[in-house]
Structure 1
Amino acid sequence: MRILFLGDVMGRSGRRAITDRLAALKASLKADFTIVNGENASGGMGLTAAHAKLLLDAGADCLTLGDHAFDQKDMLSFIDTEPRVLRPLNYAREAPGRGFRVFSDARGRKVLVLQALGQVFMKRPFDDPFSAVDAVLRAHPPGGMVQAAVLDIHAEATSEKMAMGHYCDGRASLVVGTHTHVPTADTQILPRGTAYQSDAGMCGDYDSVIGMDKAEPMRRFLTGMGRDRFTPAEGEATLSGVLVTTDDRTGLATAVEALRDGGRLVPTHGIKG
């Protein structure tokens, strides 16, 4: 199975790139299943119901969120009506929605998708992500209950993400980090067969400060004072993510590659016309 994972969609630029280019990218990559992190798709903070529908209609099979899961208030009710949108597993127990779900690709193969929030350097305390992930993976062994399993670890610290990758090695097809908006160069298959990358990067304008228009972040760094709100940069987005190929019998990775398409970053994959 070929699974495409795209990192945090950032504002209008990221949404536009998904709607304009995702279908062609999926066709070029021959992707069987596509997961998109929609954490920052609405003004850089959260995801509205309307924008969730837009990303799903564009070809995402599943949307993951993150620490800004409910910044847009209509997501509080929408997430219970749309099973393709997942919030973090270790969010507050009273939170609506679910942190994992088993999906099917076009051939009926089962794909487990789950998301967890890291604890290190995050502004709010969340439940232990390791025990939350462990319980789900034990109940859905790849190659048994499901043909593939993908974990989106939404965290600040690369050390925590790496620890999660090794913790899940041999039990997941792909462990990929989100949240920092900067694609890392450590794409690999771990010793027991789990594909890993510390951060997928963002789907947004990289002529920016992690997706935000440069002026206000730079002003705050230089003066220590804020004047305006952060607003997403509006230039052409780079679609950043990971493509993993899995063995249906074992659920483990047989190949993985980083993906950067369009925009300012040097491409790691181009659509072949």
Structure 2
Amino acid sequence: MTATVSAGPAPRRRRRGRRLPIGRILLLGIYLMFILAPLYWVLITSIKPSDDYLAVPPVWFPDAPTIVHYTAALFAYRGLQGLINSLIISISATALSCLIGTLMAYSLARFRTGGMHLSFWVLSQRFLPPIAIILPLFLNYRLVGLQDTHVGMILAYTMFTLPVTVWMMYAYFRQMPRSLEDAALVDGCTRWQALWTVAIPLAVPGIVAAAIFTFIACWTEFFFALVLTSRDAFTLPTVFRAFLSFQGAQYGEASALAIVSLGPSIILGVLVQKHLVRGLTLGAIRG
């Protein structure tokens, strides 16, 4: 009787265990299709001949792939110059934002600089809509000669991303044990030595996570670049407006430049994936 009773639920558990992975795989497959289908269509459009853009039925893969759209987007529409400008501005603004934001977050977390509400006030600056400050910023840039310059865009993007960087690093430093730095101070280190030899190495995952978010925000930003640049310091997102004209939309060139613009973000995410995941999880333990 005991064997009969205990043997009954076991097959049900096994059947239930078989159903769960199938459901998860199905949901994961639907999610991947939802995410990857637009990317596939952009990739295929970038190598399609112009006659296949709006063909009925749709052309899922062209018979004669071409790279003419890539050469046109990079050279005829100055996409290569926009790519170089975006790399210079985004990398510089990310480095500057992470340096200032890390030091500021450490001061807020360890010394309560500005009281209990300064950290939230810093984050609240990100709530301000860009359109509210773009006009005075544009007038000031024209006055001091920073309009359409790399330095002007780096400063604008640093100002734009600094609140989020400070808030992420502030949460990360708050969950970091203070006893490690106290031990370094007891051993004879100065406060700066404790910061650079103990706190900063431990905060590398958080710095990487903040840097990734900062870089992506600078890389994809359009409004500041549209207003503050024209000929010399224009970034990659502003090049896309050239593909819309009275003659029609240049789908192939726009798709080619979209694929090119995805490259740095994907490469950066793959290279620092481990640090990114760790920085997001550890930094979110305490607010």
TM-score bracket for the superposition, by shorter chain length: under 0.3
Greater RCO structure (CA 8 Å; 6+ sep): 2
- Which one has a larger percent helix, Structure 1 or Structure 2? 2
Which TM-score applies when normalising by structure 1? 0.20
